[in-house]
Amino acid sequence: MIEGALFDWGGVLIENPGPGLMRSCARALGVTVEGYTRAHNLCGEPFQKGSIPEDIFWRRVCEGLGCPLPQQASLWGEAFRAVYSPREEVFALARRLREAGCKTGLLSNTEVPAMEFFLELRYDAFDAATFSCAEGVVKPERQIYEVAARKLALTPDQCVLIDDKPEFVEGAQAAGMKGIVYESFAQMIQELVQIGIRVE
């Protein structure tokens, strides 16, 4: 029986911030989006795992690009806030599920500046939030799914993950969870009903 629903952040609860972040950071550094994206992808995982702070991340990126360091105290935080676009209907669903007795959680691969922004927003839709930068592991590593379930006082087989990335849903399923690949709000609702979650 499914007793907990875990929602991905970027791509499910909010519009995918990735393209906007790449554009914003490239513009701030005076480089191409393609060049920035390559450098970001080479340096991004330790930042997302919380094993390096933002200034070290930018030092590595800018060394790779041969450009000056950003002037902002937190370019990533500024860029994330600028592109943040919540899907209110998904937040409302999480709220309804929680009010109906289903435990709800957020499970996100994200960096410290973005996590701090989420905490500032004080959403009332979740019983717990699990961030890769706070746990030192990322989806699709098995441990992060186990941590997210434990924070809801559930086992993985009592949870469903809703995520827009198939490989992250596959990781959840390998950890024992149900999984839904988010394509649209209506499709997500239909699949939640199919696994026995009431969404009224």
Domain-wise residue ranges, the chain: 4-15+84-194, 18-83
Where does 18-83 sit in CATH, by number? 1.10.150.240
The DSSP output letter for 179 is E
Residues 6+ apart with CB under 8 A from 66: none
**Which pLDDT does position 142 carry in this prediction?**
98
The rounded percent of the chain whose pLDDT value lies above 90 is 98
Give yes or no for residue 200 having a pLDDT over 80.
no
Pairing relationship of beta strands 4-7 and 128-131 according to DSSP bridges: unpaired
Give the lowest-confidence range in 50-59, 145-154, 191-200: 191-200
Could you give the 3-state DSSP secondary structure of residue 7? strand
- Tell me the CATH class for 4-15+84-194: alpha beta
Give yes or no for residue 13 having a pLDDT over 90.
yes
Q: Whole-model pTM?
A: 0.95
Per-residue pLDDT tens over the stretch 80-127: 999 999 999 999 999 999 999 999 999 999 999 999 999 999 999 999
